Structure 1
Amino acid sequence: MARKIFTFMRGASDRTADATEALGFKGANLALLASLDMPVPPGFTVSTAAWREAANLRGGLPQPLRSEINAAVEWLETVTGRKFGGNEKPLLLAVRTSARTQMPGLAETVLDVGLNDATVETVAIELDDLSFAYRSYRRFIESFAALVYDADPGAFEEIADEEAEASGRSGDPQTREEWRRLIARYHAFIEAEYDAVLPQTPLEQLSMVIEASFASWRNPVARSHRVLHGIPENAGLAVTAHAMIFNERDRNSGTGRAVSRDLRSGEPRLTGEFWLGGRERAEIGDPVGSWPLSDLIADGGRPAGDWFPADAAALAAHVRRLESHVGDAVEVDFMVGDGELFFLQSRTARRGAGEAIRVAVELVKEGLIEEEEALLRIDPASLDQLLHPTIERTTDLPIIGRGMPASPGAATGEIAFTSERAEALAAEGRPVILVRNETFPEDIHGMHVANGVLAIRGGTTSHAAVVARGIGKPCVTGVGALRINLEDETLQAPGVILRAGDMITIDGSSGEVIEGRVELKRPSLIGDFATLMDYADRARRMRVRTNAETPVEARAARAFGAEGIGLCRTEHMFFEGDRIRAMREMILAPDGDGRRLALEKLLPFQRSDFIELFEIMAGLPVTIRLLDPPLHEFLPKGDAEIAETAAMLGIEEGVLRQRIAKLEEFNPMLGHRGCRLAISYPEIAEAQARAIFEAAVEAGERAGEAVVPEIMVPLVGMRKELAFVKERIDRVAQLVAAERGRSVHYQVGSMIELPRAVVRADTIAEIADFFSFGTNDLTQTVFGISRDDAGNFLSTYYRQGIIERDPFQTVDADGVGELIALAVEKARRTRPDIQLGVCGEQGGDPASIAFFEQTGLDYVSCSPFRVPIARVAAAQSAILERRATRGGTGVKGRSRA
């Protein structure tokens, strides 16, 4: 049978191989501290196995468990020399829930278990402090009733206020009689409101606290957290009970937190804070609140010993030894009771992304850990904090709405409800937030000039989110509390109406929309950040490219370490100025000759764009996707724009409307797009191919070395589709070579985003030089879900436990992932040297990158501001794959706690 109770005291503890699973986070760390001969209060942990046994019975604590708890209390009485409920030196306990991770909704700590109407008097005599003893008893009753009876703490406050008013005083009672009267009122209230009697037997108190703590695992808040974070229902919780420390009584007591390093500099220098008994806060050290315990000096210049009630040198030595054992910066919670030091908890030091990098690099420099271990200690997703501006949260912010954090970073600017207005404001040098119900491809120019984007509808993979991440703009989507009224140009929030030109701030990392201007902090990516990226590049196997189609994006990606472009979406190049006019001429032309004339106008624009991208990438691969979206997306919308376009192109408005109606599709995502366009209108693919080859020739001549473009054909499902388009590309390559007297080496590949392409990957690979998995559309077609509409029901799927993660953010390994793995196997069976990558949004998601590493892809491609995240995630995935085959921790001479 699984063991139920584990004891600990300084120098000895019962620990299991799976300590955190059995004892929870708090219990496991107390056992660790005890085993390292550090000062901990003696106690015991009721394990998760006991929770499972009690949960299965659903009738309170089983009798065998009660007997084991009684035995543990007897052991604790022996080691402390105190008696639970004794007439002299009574034993009091602090009882804390202990799950394997920090979890909201679990039972709060109950202190002073063992106090009753008799022992409170004994404690008062022992400590010679009546008020402290009764304050502790009052606190116990309030916390016990809140946990066991679900009592409202405010009700007890009202009783205390009434007693104070009746006695003509303010604050706590002053005499024994006043205290007893207050406690009697508490007892009467519990009996009247909950038909219960506060137990006077300490063992009964303890059993009821443990039972109620166990029950908190299944409360709604805890259950929702487990579903969201994928924590199994049967993981359960443990409960730790230890001897009380009177840390709030006088100036010989107190509470503190100590960190083994200065997280700002990474130096091995103890920092933290301490509160003297009675909650008088003491800050030790320099003016910003950091305190070096090695030379404890108070603000007034007094030596630490004049006010710090314990041995500061011993505290420093213990914390440094714990860091040495763990091999990482650690943080401890400690208490001082009557001048004696006790540790209550330890953990790896909580830190921001910048601090985590700084500490990891410093530990490598000191020779305490290897580079690979330093990388594994960084949460790749947390690097977003360093790549974008963030909000200075010094005061309460007027938040008017909360949506989905669609693209990280923060931005402040004037509200603009159209892309045209955003451009006008930006031209005047004014900061802009583009506010739309949802964005469309024709909003690209407005998104480029805006500081940030707020889309009232949509999710984290909607058009606004994907484009914003690509161009590094903060974006918030799906803010249900906000409404746009375009007629009077207002943004309506509960209790607030904002107008065009008013200032707002958005936080794309939290999803908050804030009224007014907020101060922002700018990122810095030098020093330790650059060092960590060097570690990552030495460790990873997969290459990291970027999704980019503008010079701004490409330069940003190169600065972040991108090794080429894995996806250049050419349609994004057609929405500005003269380009959209030529594009519309092409779409509305009556025949192929008319389309070719219009495409000739677009040729110089495309060629110059590609030349600049080739030059920025300086010999690195550039994958250019041929036109993908359906043609109707480029046509005007709304009466005013239709009339303007008709006049500009010199055609009748009615004819234009007929053409627009003819091109409109019921389901364009599965309609006339991708390679289907190139087959219906081969002149489009031919014109784009010419622009690519002519740009490659010119860029190669300028650089003095050959440029090798990669041309990607989208939405291929059949080998013949790719063959048809590839034949036209090859023909154009020959024409350009004849005209320029110089041939271009190039590759033609396919975007794999349809299930049929997966199952026929072996035959498609016969004529493809590379595959790039478009996981956005592949997820849509596998699930039969529109990513733009999925937000309407995926949140319900979360709550019901049907899914653990949004499949548009993290690859669905069991479904979409299986198909990717199948395509990889089939393609490499046909063509072992085929290059395989991914260019969907999951290319920048750490969890997805781990899957792509296991699957054997050659590269991932992601938005520019996700490149550093992908570099670290790819390194971590490669490290873990290597360790899976050979073992090892990377912590020199130490085992990880």
Structure 2
Amino acid sequence: MSELTYAFSEGNKDLREVLGGKGANLCEMTNLGLPVPQGFVISTIACRQYLTENILTDHLINEIKNRVQTLEAQTEKTFGTGTNPLLVSVRSGAKFSMPGMMDTILNLGLNDDTVQAVAAKTQNLNFAYQCYRRLIQMFGDVVFEIDIKHFNQAFETLETEKGYPAADFQKADWLDVIARYKEIFAANAGQDFPQNVYDQMLIAVEAVFKSWNNDRAKVYRQLHNIPEDLGTAVNIQRMVFGNYSETSGTGVMFTRNPVNGTAALFGEYLSKAQGEDIVSGARTPDPIADLEAKLPAIYQQLTEIATKLENHYKDMQDVEFTVEDGKLFMLQTRNGKRTPKAAVTIAYDLFQEKRISETEMILRIEPGMIDHLLHPNFQEDELANHTAIAKGLPASPGAAAGQIVFTAEDAKAATQNGKKVILLRNETSPEDIVGMTVSEAIITSHGGMTSHAAVVARGMGTCCVVGCQDLHVDEDQKVAKYNGGALYEGDLISVDGTSGKIYLGQLATTAEEISEKLNDILDICDKHARLMVRGNAETPKDIREAITKGAQGIGLARTEHMFFKPARLKAMRQLILADNDDEITDALRFIKGEQKGDFEDMYDVLLDRPGTIRLLDPPLHEFLPSDKGELKQLAAEIGKDAATVADKARALAEVNPMLGLRGVRLAVVLPQIYQMQVEAIMEAAIAVSKRKHITITPEIMIPLTGTVEEMAMAKQLCVDTATKVLADANISLNYEIGTMIENPRACIIADALAKDADFFSFGTNDLTQLTYGYSRDDAHKFLPTYLDKHLLPHDPFQVLDTQGVGTLIKMAATNGKAANKQLKVGVCGEVGGEPRSIRFLNTLPIDYVSCSPYRVPQARLICAISEIERQSQDTYAHTNA
């Protein structure tokens, strides 16, 4: 055994890194005593060597020839000569399953001489020459990218010329077929079809190695986060022929149903066929159950093997097999791909059957499956029958259909008339919230994954596609043009928030489903997780949704989201544009009453669960319209001079609003706003505590602090206000005051800030923005190019930048807890529900993550997975220390 090639008897399932998944499992099945045709594996090490040097080394070539000689002895066949020729298949097999992405060649070893030997040995001329023509066709397709339609057309033409089907061909007819195939091959490849069988093999091996970098394989790896540098193994295996006789065939079988998880054999079988026939869809196979009547002994053998493989691998298996002249051969087994619903069912059932442990059950479920399960999705056959007219960034998963509207007002009016709508805009603003909340889906032609539309849609669990530059939206004319047509108000479209694609018409969807089994699994996950999971929510509906999905509290209630109802917006504008203390007092009195009601509603749902309420944090200018006409109308509504209102609006306008008058700066410039909010929070907590006979501990969060002085001043403002409320109510109630860490300076001085804080909550959206110097609202203009050019590994607003932003979080959390042993630390930005980010955060002194209610189940799962993996690594490190 060397590092370049392995016989099937020399490997095992634990060598996936070297042998690829297919090769490792062929070795494992061989060791289990299953009927596997003999063969050997060329390792991924050899592949990486080839991709670097662009040549098969003499050492590798000699090893391959030695392995073939061994295979000749095992099979009592000879490669390229003799009366009993050895024919082999050459198949790819990477560490991770990539079905259909790389290349396969069957029947290798046939040439003008060996085909006659096979015909004589089998006494089946048609069989031998069918295999030969398939080899030339596959070789041309895989190695030289010759379109197989040229071969198929030639074959059909010849059948027409002869006037009888291929089944009746004589030797002269078959020689004519092969001659025409060779002509097609030579004309397109620029060389003759190789007659030397070792040339065939080495060229085929090179082709499989090269296929690691074909376009479809690259795209598949990107979609499934498979590393680019693994390479593929090559499996060379004695051919067995499903097209040999009437008692021959080929099949694919799952040991359980991969669609719904039912514990029963599931699959298809095709009589008198080779493997590619069933994969290509050229012929319609029969259900695997039909094999029980056709070949009962084979069916019974498959049933026994299925049980043996499941017991051995402790997972549902996807099995490929061939029956040659009544004898069964196993060609592959691997953990079968399955729908999210099936994944949950199978993992849970295997656990209940005591085949796997709790931790194994948890690790069997991928986080993305949970996200998929909890959002409606278009049916697969619907997608196959429709072509997308445009594609943008998939900002919020799910599937929705409705009539197009171009304004929030139209969305509201249409839904009041019982219509389902899709809001289509260049971009959204806070004033669009009324229309956004009633829309089935939201599409914007501008903006990135953390744009207003994206963040709000995810928080609501609404399907959303942003940055859809394929659409040119004219909101005034109410038309959106795309390549090939135009969309008008009222047109019916379907939006896929998982892929970012948009379709004409209404596509059928699958219903959202949360199964009892999934709930049981997530409850078990909570036992194994170190990090708690909270939700980002401020409305009773969203808070209830978060808790129903397992959130242990609320990590971020954004009070600015509460101000966009018409009456509140008017009062807020009156406050901003006030000329004297009386006007400020009147506006605050109204807003406080509204806010107190909001917070009571929150606490009525939360009860005594923790809930962090962030004080107001938008740039003030966002509350004011920018259009001259709207400013004039606002002036009339609040009884102000139009010119004065316009001047005030211009004075509030900021060159960079994200760095302007927002967050804790409001406490400095307009302390009355934070005083009003703290009063409302405390009074609401007192009222609900009395009414519900519970103890509520308000968590009040000061946003965007960057200096110790800011924090101390804002905290004192909150403490003084809370103390007065409690004194007036003659009641004692604990409360906590913390801050949101959103800028690098706050991370650097975290130890000092912690002395004045009961908790930290990292706002990773702004922290990422201020660390990179990337505008969240403009990043979509350059981030796609950065990702295409591999200047960034991923969008840092979606996946935590562990090197930069992650280092700041680690420093701040560590130093903050060192300075204040009681400090609670959470993360509540976009990354709070993202699997790779949670894995990193689980290694830090963080207590909880907080995310959209609709991502809570996924976060619960990945918190458990990351902790199980961390403990496993710690155990391994300790054992091997």
TM above 0.5: yes
- Equivalent AA in structure 1 for residue 314 of structure 2: G
The question of 1:80 aligning with 2:67 is answered no
Following superposition, the deviation at residue 566 of structure 1 comes to 0.6
Following superposition, the deviation at residue 323 of structure 1 comes to 0.8
Give the structure 2 partner of residue 375 of structure 1. 362
The question of 1:615 aligning with 2:604 is answered yes
Where do 1:842-881 residues align within 5 Å?
842-881=831-870
Name which of 16, 28, 32 aligns with 1:32.
Answer: 28
The question of 1:14 aligning with 2:3 is answered no
Deviates most, 638-647 or 717-726: 638-647
Q: In the superposition, relative to structure 1, how do residues 311 and 226 fare at CA in structure 2: closer, same or farther (>3 Å)?
A: closer
Name which of 431, 447, 453 aligns with 1:442.
Answer: 431
Assess if the C-alpha contact under 8 Å between 1:216 and 1:222 holds in 2. Answer: yes
Deviates most, 124-133 or 824-833: 124-133
Name which of 386, 394, 403 aligns with 1:405.
Answer: 394
Assess if the C-alpha contact under 8 Å between 1:251 and 1:307 holds in 2. Answer: no
Assess if the C-alpha contact under 8 Å between 2:292 and 2:300 holds in 1. Answer: no
Q: In the superposition, relative to structure 1, how do residues 147 and 259 fare at CA in structure 2: closer, same or farther (>3 Å)?
A: closer
Q: In the superposition, relative to structure 1, how do residues 675 and 290 fare at CA in structure 2: closer, same or farther (>3 Å)?
A: farther
Secondary structure of 1:530's partner? Answer: helix
Secondary structure of 2:186's partner? Answer: helix
Give the structure 2 partner of residue 327 of structure 1. 314
CA distance in structure 2 between the partners assigned to 1:362 and 1:106 by the alignment: 31
Give the structure 2 partner of residue 530 of structure 1. 519
Give the structure 1 partner of residue 3 of structure 2. 3
- Equivalent AA in structure 1 for residue 339 of structure 2: G
Where do 1:571-650 residues align within 5 Å?
571-650=560-639
Name which of 335, 351, 361 aligns with 2:338.
Answer: 351
CA distance in structure 2 between the partners assigned to 1:218 and 1:364 by the alignment: 39
Q: In the superposition, relative to structure 1, how do residues 853 and 341 fare at CA in structure 2: closer, same or farther (>3 Å)?
A: same
Q: In the superposition, relative to structure 1, how do residues 831 and 800 fare at CA in structure 2: closer, same or farther (>3 Å)?
A: same
Give the structure 1 partner of residue 254 of structure 2. 259
Name which of 334, 341, 362 aligns with 2:328.
Answer: 341
Deviates most, 32-41 or 478-487: 478-487
Deviates most, 268-277 or 768-777: 268-277
Q: In the superposition, relative to structure 1, how do residues 411 and 223 fare at CA in structure 2: closer, same or farther (>3 Å)?
A: closer
Following superposition, the deviation at residue 310 of structure 1 comes to 5.3
Deviates most, 485-494 or 623-632: 485-494
CA distance in structure 1 between the partners assigned to 2:411 and 2:141 by the alignment: 54
- Equivalent AA in structure 2 for residue 206 of structure 1: M
Assess if the C-alpha contact under 8 Å between 1:164 and 1:173 holds in 2. Answer: no
- Unaligned segments of structure 2, at least 5 residues: 279-284
Give the structure 1 partner of residue 679 of structure 2. 690
Following superposition, the deviation at residue 179 of structure 1 comes to 2.3
Following superposition, the deviation at residue 28 of structure 1 comes to 1.2
CA distance in structure 2 between the partners assigned to 1:795 and 1:128 by the alignment: 61
- Equivalent AA in structure 1 for residue 703 of structure 2: P
Deviates most, 355-364 or 269-278: 269-278
CA distance in structure 2 between the partners assigned to 1:811 and 1:773 by the alignment: 12
Assess if the C-alpha contact under 8 Å between 1:173 and 1:179 holds in 2. Answer: no
The question of 1:217 aligning with 2:212 is answered yes
Per-residue CA deviations over 1:252-306 (Å, capped at 9, x if unaligned) read 1112122223456655432322222248999xxxxxx997x8xx5x4xxxxx554
Assess if the C-alpha contact under 8 Å between 1:2 and 1:49 holds in 2. Answer: no
Following superposition, the deviation at residue 163 of structure 1 comes to 4.0
Q: CA RMSD in A?
A: 2.4
Deviates most, 384-393 or 88-97: 384-393
Secondary structure of 2:389's partner? Answer: strand
Assess if the C-alpha contact under 8 Å between 1:260 and 1:323 holds in 2. Answer: yes
- Equivalent AA in structure 2 for residue 80 of structure 1: T
CA distance in structure 1 between the partners assigned to 2:573 and 2:251 by the alignment: 68
Secondary structure of 1:608's partner? Answer: helix
Assess if the C-alpha contact under 8 Å between 1:104 and 1:222 holds in 2. Answer: no
- Equivalent AA in structure 2 for residue 346 of structure 1: T
State, as a whole percentage, how many aligned pairs show the same letter.
Answer: 41
- Equivalent AA in structure 1 for residue 849 of structure 2: V
Q: In the superposition, relative to structure 1, how do residues 217 and 260 fare at CA in structure 2: closer, same or farther (>3 Å)?
A: closer
The question of 1:422 aligning with 2:411 is answered yes
Q: In the superposition, relative to structure 1, how do residues 290 and 446 fare at CA in structure 2: closer, same or farther (>3 Å)?
A: farther
CA distance in structure 2 between the partners assigned to 1:384 and 1:584 by the alignment: 39
Per-residue CA deviations over 1:301-353 (Å, capped at 9, x if unaligned) read xxx55413752221111111111111122221111111111111111122111
Give the structure 2 partner of residue 132 of structure 1. 127
CA distance in structure 2 between the partners assigned to 1:387 and 1:837 by the alignment: 25
Q: In the superposition, relative to structure 1, how do residues 132 and 439 fare at CA in structure 2: closer, same or farther (>3 Å)?
A: same
Following superposition, the deviation at residue 575 of structure 1 comes to 0.6
Secondary structure of 2:721's partner? Answer: helix
Give the structure 2 partner of residue 512 of structure 1. 501
- Unaligned segments of structure 1, at least 5 residues: 283-288, 299-303, 889-897
CA distance in structure 2 between the partners assigned to 1:53 and 1:731 by the alignment: 70
Aligned length, in residue pairs: 868
Per-residue CA deviations over 1:358-414 (Å, capped at 9, x if unaligned) read 111111211111112111111122111221222233331242212221111111222
Assess if the C-alpha contact under 8 Å between 2:550 and 2:857 holds in 1. Answer: yes
Name which of 59, 63, 76 aligns with 1:64.
Answer: 59
Per-residue CA deviations over 1:165-199 (Å, capped at 9, x if unaligned) read 55456778833223222322332343344431211
Per-residue CA deviations over 1:86-130 (Å, capped at 9, x if unaligned) read 231211111011222234896421111111112122222333332
CA distance in structure 2 between the partners assigned to 1:655 and 1:88 by the alignment: 102
Following superposition, the deviation at residue 164 of structure 1 comes to 4.6
Q: In the superposition, relative to structure 1, how do residues 442 and 487 fare at CA in structure 2: closer, same or farther (>3 Å)?
A: closer
Assess if the C-alpha contact under 8 Å between 1:425 and 1:431 holds in 2. Answer: yes
Q: In the superposition, relative to structure 1, how do residues 866 and 56 fare at CA in structure 2: closer, same or farther (>3 Å)?
A: closer
The question of 1:461 aligning with 2:450 is answered yes
Assess if the C-alpha contact under 8 Å between 2:242 and 2:274 holds in 1. Answer: no
Secondary structure of 1:83's partner? Answer: coil
Name which of 17, 42, 51 aligns with 2:38.
Answer: 42
Q: In the superposition, relative to structure 1, how do residues 193 and 622 fare at CA in structure 2: closer, same or farther (>3 Å)?
A: closer
Give the structure 2 partner of residue 707 of structure 1. 696
Following superposition, the deviation at residue 232 of structure 1 comes to 5.2
The question of 1:96 aligning with 2:83 is answered no
Secondary structure of 1:14's partner? Answer: coil
Secondary structure of 2:201's partner? Answer: helix
Per-residue CA deviations over 1:570-629 (Å, capped at 9, x if unaligned) read 011011120111011111113455333212111111110000101100111111111111
Name which of 331, 353, 359 aligns with 1:366.
Answer: 353
Assess if the C-alpha contact under 8 Å between 1:751 and 1:773 holds in 2. Answer: yes
The TM-score with structure 1 as length reference comes to 0.93
- Equivalent AA in structure 1 for residue 491 of structure 2: D
Assess if the C-alpha contact under 8 Å between 1:22 and 1:49 holds in 2. Answer: yes
Where do 1:755-766 residues align within 5 Å?
755-766=744-755
Secondary structure of 2:777's partner? Answer: coil
Deviates most, 352-361 or 586-595: 586-595
Assess if the C-alpha contact under 8 Å between 1:104 and 1:225 holds in 2. Answer: no
The question of 1:156 aligning with 2:119 is answered no
Secondary structure of 2:73's partner? Answer: helix
Give the structure 2 partner of residue 451 of structure 1. 440
CA distance in structure 2 between the partners assigned to 1:18 and 1:330 by the alignment: 16
Where do 1:155-174 residues align within 5 Å?
155-164=150-159, 166-167=161-162, 174=169
Q: In the superposition, relative to structure 1, how do residues 223 and 506 fare at CA in structure 2: closer, same or farther (>3 Å)?
A: closer
The question of 1:500 aligning with 2:489 is answered yes
Q: In the superposition, relative to structure 1, how do residues 685 and 860 fare at CA in structure 2: closer, same or farther (>3 Å)?
A: same
Assess if the C-alpha contact under 8 Å between 1:610 and 1:695 holds in 2. Answer: yes
Q: In the superposition, relative to structure 1, how do residues 849 and 74 fare at CA in structure 2: closer, same or farther (>3 Å)?
A: same
Q: In the superposition, relative to structure 1, how do residues 519 and 149 fare at CA in structure 2: closer, same or farther (>3 Å)?
A: closer
Assess if the C-alpha contact under 8 Å between 1:455 and 1:464 holds in 2. Answer: yes
The TM-score with structure 2 as length reference comes to 0.94
CA distance in structure 2 between the partners assigned to 1:713 and 1:436 by the alignment: 33
Deviates most, 103-112 or 382-391: 103-112
- Equivalent AA in structure 2 for residue 204 of structure 1: D
Per-residue CA deviations over 1:687-720 (Å, capped at 9, x if unaligned) read 1111111111111111112221111111111111
Per-residue CA deviations over 1:719-776 (Å, capped at 9, x if unaligned) read 1111111111111112212322224321110100100000000000010000000011
